[in-house]
Amino acid sequence: MSESPLLEIAGISKSYPVRHGGDGRRELWALDDVDLTVAANTVLGIVGESGCGKSTLARTIVLLEEPTRGTVRFDGVDIHALQGDQLRMFRRRVQMVFQDPYGALPPRMDVGTAVEEPLSIAGWGTGATRGERVAHLLELVGLPASLARRYPHQLSGGQRQRVNIARAIALDPDLLVLDEPVSALDVSVQAQVLNLLRDLQTRVGLTYLFISHDLRVVRYLCNEVAVMYLGRIVERGPARSVFERPAHPYTAALLGSIPDLGGKGGMTSGSRLRGEVPSPIDRPPGCPFHPRCPIAREICATERPELRLAPASGSYSACHFADEVAGASGLRERL
Ligand code: SF4
Q: What is the dihedral of CA 285, 37, 77, 61, to 10 degrees?
A: -70
Give strand pairing partners of 212: 47
**Ligand 1 centre from 300 Cα, in Å?**
6
Number of Cβ within 10 Å of residue 221's Cβ equals 20
* 3-state SS string for the chain: CCCCCCEEEEEEEEEEEEECHHHCEEEEEEEEEEEEEECCCCEEEEECCCCCCHHHHHHHHCCCCCCCEEEEEECCEEHHHCCHHHHHHHHHHEEEECCCCCCCCCCCCCHHHHHHHHHHHCCCCCHHHHHHHHHHHHHHCCCCHHHHHCCHHHCCHHHHHHHHHHHHHCCCCCEEEEECCCCCCCHHHHHHHHHHHHHHHHHHHCEEEEEECCHHHHHHHCCEEEEEECCEEEEEEEHHHHHHCCCCHHHHHHHHCCHHHCCCCCCCCCCCCCCCCCCCCCCCCCCCCCCCCCCCCHHHHCCCCCCEEECCCCEEECCCCHHHHHCCCCCHHHC
CATH ID of 7-222, from 1.20.1440.130, 3.40.1160.10, 3.40.50.300, 3.20.20.240: 3.40.50.300
Whose alpha carbon is nearest atom 3 of ligand 1?
319
Nearest-atom index, ligand 1, CA of 293 = 1
The CA distance from 203 to 141, in Å, is 11
Instruction: Return the ligand 1 atom nearest residue 249 CA.
Output: 6
Domain ranges of the chain: 7-222, 245-335
CA of 310 to the centre of ligand 1 (A): 14
Cα–Cα distance for residue pair 91/120, rounded to 1 Å: 14
Ligand 1 centroid, distance to 301 Cα (angstroms): 9
* pLDDT score at 263: 55
Please choose from 232, 289, 316, 325 the residue to mutate so as to test ligand 1's pocket, defined by most ligand atoms within 8 A of CB: 289
Which residues does a 6 A CB cutoff place in the pocket of ligand 1?
Answer: 248-249, 287, 289-290, 293, 295-296, 300, 305, 319-321
Cβ atoms of residues 71 and 61 within 8 Å: no
CA quadruple 155, 159, 163, 165: dihedral sign: positive
Ligand 1 pocket: which of 287, 299, 313 to mutate (most atoms <8 Å of CB)?
A: 287
C-alpha of residue 320 to centroid of ligand 1, in Å? 6
Spatial separation of the C-alpha atoms in residues 42 and 21, rounded to whole Å:
43
Ligand 1 mean position to 304 CA, how many Å? 9
Give the pLDDT score at 2.
Answer: 47
Among protein residues, the one whose CA lies closest to atom 8 of ligand 1: 296
Please, what is the average pLDDT of the chain? 90
Run means of pLDDT, 10 residues per run, the chain, 335 residues: 81 90 81 96 94 93 96 96 95 93 88 96 93 96 94 94 96 96 90 94 93 93 96 96 94 83 45 74 92 94 96 95 80 58
The whole model's pTM is what?
A: 0.91
Cα 325 to ligand 1 centroid, rounded to whole Å: 10
Which of 229, 319, 323, 329 gets mutated to test ligand 1 (max ligand atoms within 8 A of its CB)? 319
Q: Atom of ligand 1 at shortest distance to CA of 234?
A: 6
Mutate to test the pocket of ligand 1, among 295, 303, 323 (most ligand atoms within 8 A of CB): 295
